[in-house]
Amino acid sequence: SEPVLEIRNLNVGYGLGDQAVRAVRDVNLTLHRGEVLGLAGESGSGKSTLAYGLTRLLPPPGVITGGQVIYHPADGPAYDVLGLSDRELREFRWNETAIVFQGAMNSLNPVHKISTQLTDVLRAHEPTMSEHSRNARAREMLKLVGIAADRMDAYPHQLSGGMRQRVMIGMALILQPQVVIMDEPTTALDVVMQRQILRQLIELRERLGFSVIFITHDLSLLVEFSNKIAIMYGGRIVEEAPASAIYRDSLHPYSAGLLGSFPALRGPRRELTGIPGSPPDLKGMPTGCSFHPRCPKAFDPCASNIPVLGRPDTPDGSTRSVACWLHPTAQPVGL
Ligand code: ATP
Ligand code: SF4
Ligand code: MG
């Protein structure tokens, strides 16, 4: 299908000059319409920085130091999100791409009813909509995310964590964005609840037709809900593939370490902690492949040359990319 978001050579840092930390490095990634892209990697690998960078919500001292984020609206020509004015950006964020942050469920306003918080979004962004239509839309949205009618006028503290999370998702969806980014949407919730909420989001995606970027530490959820998985290490995408392919047969030794020993699709919850050694220090990155000090398959070129994300020939013809010297036939992605 067609692309909705194309991230090209994106670089994001914290601070400038010698002290700068390069948290996202030369990232190339395409999200297609209707797709669920799962993004995984150890803590500090740059997942949130990538999500905030592409929506331009980076907290200071975060800066985008290069690249493009090409967005394809449902109608009209594609444009670079990094070139939008502040005013255009505010529109873009709610109407085109919505983000549900890590810990967002605690960011609801405690003094307003949840139904009011949804109608406020509509009031700000659809000023011509009637009061009646706003209320109807807000209630319909809350119903869609599974909030019972008798809870719609509750205050946030009267709701469980799971319900507050559903409200946040409802708020993110209310202007019918094409892209929804979930940054570890449910880590504070129990597994059953996480799965329920995600299943519901995926059903809504089928009905409303948006695409999802889904960031998680939880491998079972990642494999269960993603169509495509991208693995980050040290700020770079090191592998990207259809979920079934990467799970069956990872090409990058880091993905293999994360996913290879993963027991079963619906097995017990497992965090991404299965690899010996620690994540790289972004201020003193190893030379060459940043994974080489931990890689069981490291060989000659690995310590001196950085492998570029590229497309190897796959026996099953699937489109996948990897950045590893074990797959030198790769055609570079994004050049
Ligand atoms: P987690 O899984 O823990 O959420 P992540 O993959 O989302 O991790 P990021 O939060 O994107 O990782 O952080 C990437 C790197 O950027 C980390 O090394 C982190 O220390 C650094 N970083 C993040 N925020 C800042 C900041 N405000 N100032 C300086 N460095 C930062
Ligand atoms: Fe391991 Fe070398 Fe591949 Fe890096 S490039 S993952 S060190 S084999
Ligand atoms: Mg994060």
Distance CA 20, CA 56 (A): 18
Reported as half-sphere exposure (CB side, CA atoms, 13 A), residue 126 has a value of: 19
Backbone angles phi and psi of 78, in degrees to 5 = -70, 155
Q: What is the pTM of this model?
A: 0.91
Judge whether 172 and 99 are in contact, CB under 8 Å. yes
| Domain 3-108+177-332 superfamily per CATH | P-loop containing nucleotide triphosphate hydrolases (3.40.50.300)
Residue nearest to atom 23 of ligand 1 (CA): 49
Confirm or reject: Cβ of 59 under 6 Å from ligand 1.
Answer: yes
pLDDT digits (tens, 9 = 90+) for 171-220: 999 999 999 998 875 556 677 777 888 888 888 998 889 999 999 877 78
- Segments making up each domain of the chain, as ranges: 3-108+177-332
268 pLDDT above the threshold of 60? no
Higher pLDDT, 220 or 89: 89
Atom of ligand 2 nearest to the CA of 252: 6
The predicted structure's pLDDT at residue 266: 46
Q: Work out the percent of the chain whose per-residue pLDDT is above 70.
A: 90
Cβ-proximal residues to 150 (8 Å cutoff; 6+ apart), any chain: none
Helix axes 161-173, 131-144, angle to 10 degrees: 130
The predicted structure's pLDDT at residue 29: 95
* Residues with C-beta less than 6 Å from any ligand 2 atom: 252-253, 289, 291-292, 295, 297-298, 302, 307, 324-326
User: DSSP string covering 292-314, please?
Assistant: GGG-TT--GGGGTSPPPPEE---
Distance CA 62, CA 13 (A): 6
pLDDT digits (tens, 9 = 90+) for 93-146: 889 999 887 666 677 999 999 999 999 999 999 999 999 999 999 999 999 999
Give yes or no for a cis peptide into 296 (omega within 30° of 0): no
Higher pLDDT, 190 or 222: 222
